[in-house]
């Protein structure tokens, strides 16, 4: 029997501020973290609001010109402290690092000018290189890039490193800093940015808003963990939906098949899954695809289906850091016994028949599924089991 893999520490920085406690307090209270944006996207396109880190966090950035690396470091520091890893553990050759971004540091890259060293720090592997130097990590290191599923893919790669015997423990840290005119303008032109609020599964949904930040977790074998485990990573899956750049299979067939495979790998039944963290971008095809997949795979054989929540309704879309941030919310919900809210929900789309609500409530969770559906069809799914 394989030794369970467990999450032992979490860290986060984002529009709620620095720390998992601040993020959880914002989520459980249903606080909306978007704020008006004074700037504009490329070509002067209007951007109503964004999810920027609070001003109080700015002085804490270790490399102010390099926001992606700085966010990644702050989240990693918290996760490492929570896991109880001393410096000698970090520098042990059996400690791995999965550091990921969906696109590198675009803002710093465009400002790098003629400085080759600065340019190299902005490539997708640049922030992870700086983090490894900061923490003196000498073990195996990889960089994952999978659009909005980047964080999920990074955690999956970490789990594979443990299963393959490449490492005894792995730090996973992902970050994104896309509040720049170029990227905001690109998303505005794609027509996926909301003009008022992110309302996943609502009949009046109109898209999401862009946020910035980072998330980090430590994953270890249960028999060697220094800190008490938070949850078990019971299963994982990567996949693809070839429907389109920003569209999903609205029949739910592609995602539903993936969920069934995930359940089999994790040795879970549909009834075991009491919580579902939706990708929930509040776009027409995403929400229909997820709702159909939930009905097809998790409400089968008389199962009532899980409670569904969409963290983007509060924290916005952190792009490369979104999926791991949302996974941390799910982990906290399982540990604390809470069903998080989707506070912007006003009227459920009748085509999205899911159990969802605007107010948090208590519940005992056996297992949770987190789904990430990245641009271009990237898919990543995680199953967490209560310990």
> Checking DSSP bridges between strand 213-221 and strand 95-100, what pairing results, if any?
unpaired
φ/ψ of 104, rounded to 5, equals 80, -160
pLDDT at 113: 65
For the chain, percent of residues with pLDDT exceeding 90: 86
Same structural domain, 28 and 90: yes
Asked if residue 21 belongs to a domain, the reply is yes
Asked if residue 2 belongs to a domain, the reply is no
- pTM of the shown model: 0.96
pLDDT beyond 70 at 378: yes
Asked if residue 312 belongs to a domain, the reply is yes
Burial class (CB in 10 A: 0-12, 13-18, 19+), 167: buried
**What is the total count of domains within the chain?**
2
DSSP H stretches of helix in the chain: 20-28, 67-83, 87-90, 106-110, 116-121, 126-135, 150-163, 181-190, 253-266, 284-297, 312-315, 322-336
Average pLDDT, the chain: 94
Asked if residue 185 belongs to a domain, the reply is yes
Query: pLDDT tens across 40-86, in order?
Result: 777 778 899 999 999 999 999 999 999 999 999 999 999 999 999 99
| 255 close to 373: Cβ distance less than 8 angstroms | yes
Q: Which of 216, 212, 217 is nearest to 315 (CA)?
A: 212
Same structural domain, 211 and 246: no
φ/ψ of 18, rounded to 5, equals -100, 125
Same structural domain, 255 and 341: yes
DSSP states of 19-53 as a string? SHHHHHHHHHTT----EE--SB-GGG-B--EEBPP
Asked if residue 1 belongs to a domain, the reply is no
Same structural domain, 203 and 106: yes
pLDDT beyond 80 at 1: no
Asked if residue 62 belongs to a domain, the reply is yes
Same structural domain, 206 and 249: no
Per-residue pLDDT, averaged over 271-277, amounts to 97
Distance separating the N- and C-terminal Cα atoms of the chain? 17
Asked if residue 156 belongs to a domain, the reply is yes
Structural domain harbouring 213: 7-224
Identify the domain boundary among 190, 224, 258: 224
pLDDT at 302: 72
Same structural domain, 200 and 248: no
Coil/strand/helix, residue 201: coil
Same structural domain, 190 and 99: yes
CATH number at residue 210: 3.40.47.10
pLDDT at 121: 87
Same structural domain, 127 and 147: yes
Same structural domain, 40 and 106: yes
pLDDT beyond 70 at 368: yes
| 230 close to 387: Cβ distance less than 8 angstroms | yes
Band (pLDDT 50/70/90 cuts) for residue 144 is: very high
Same structural domain, 66 and 159: yes
Query: pLDDT tens across 81-99, in order?
Result: 999 999 999 999 999 999 9
φ/ψ of 170, rounded to 5, equals -140, 135
Same structural domain, 242 and 327: yes
Same structural domain, 200 and 314: no
Identify the domain boundary among 224, 256, 289: 224
């Amino acid at each position: 029997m394989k030794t369970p893999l467990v999450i032992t520490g979490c860290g986060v920085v984002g529009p709620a501020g620095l720390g998992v406690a601040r993020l959880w307090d914002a989520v459980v209270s249903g606080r909306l973290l978007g704020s008006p944006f004074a700037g504009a996207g490329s070509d002067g396109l209007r951007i109503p609001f964004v999810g920027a880190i609070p001003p109080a966090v700015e002085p804490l950035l270790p490399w102010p010109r390099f926001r992606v690396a700085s966010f990644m470091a702050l989240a990693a520091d918290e996760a490492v402290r929570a896991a109880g890893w001393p410096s000698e553990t970090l520098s042990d050759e059996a400690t791995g690092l999965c550091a990921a971004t969906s696109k590198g540091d675009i803002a710093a890259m465009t400002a790098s000018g003629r400085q080759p060293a600065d340019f190299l720090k902005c490539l997708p592997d640049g922030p992870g290189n700086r983090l490894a130097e900061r923490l003196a990590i000498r073990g195996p290191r990889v960089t994952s890039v999978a659009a909005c599923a980047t964080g999920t893919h990074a955690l999956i790669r970490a789990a594979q490193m443990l299963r393959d015997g490449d490492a005894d423990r792995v730090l996973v840290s992902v970050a994104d800093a896309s509040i720049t005119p170029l990227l905001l303008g690109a998303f505005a032109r794609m027509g996926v940015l909301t003009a008022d609020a992110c309302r996943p599964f609502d009949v009046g949904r109109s898209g999401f808003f862009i946020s910035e930040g980072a998330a980090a977790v430590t994953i270890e074998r249960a028999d060697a963990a220094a800190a008490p485990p938070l949850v078990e990573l019971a299963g994982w899956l990567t996949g693809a939906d070839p429907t389109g750049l920003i569209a999903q299979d609205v029949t739910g067939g592609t995602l539903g098949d993936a969920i069934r495979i995930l359940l089999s790998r994790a040795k879970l039944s549909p009834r075991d899954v009491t919580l579902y963290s939706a990708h929930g971008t509040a776009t027409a095809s995403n929400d229909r695809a997820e709702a159909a997949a939930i009905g097809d795979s998790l409400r089968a054989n008389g199962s009532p289906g899980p409670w569904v929540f969409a963290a983007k309704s509060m924290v916005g879309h952190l792009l490369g850091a979104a999926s791991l941030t949302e996974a941390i919310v799910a982990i906290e919900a399982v540990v604390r016994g809470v069903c998080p809210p989707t506070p912007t929900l006003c009227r459920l789309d009748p085509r999205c028949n899911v159990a969802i609500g605007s107010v948090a409530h208590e519940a005992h969770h056996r297992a949770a599924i987190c789904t990430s559906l990245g641009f271009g069809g990237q898919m990543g799914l995680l199953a967490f089991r209560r310990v």
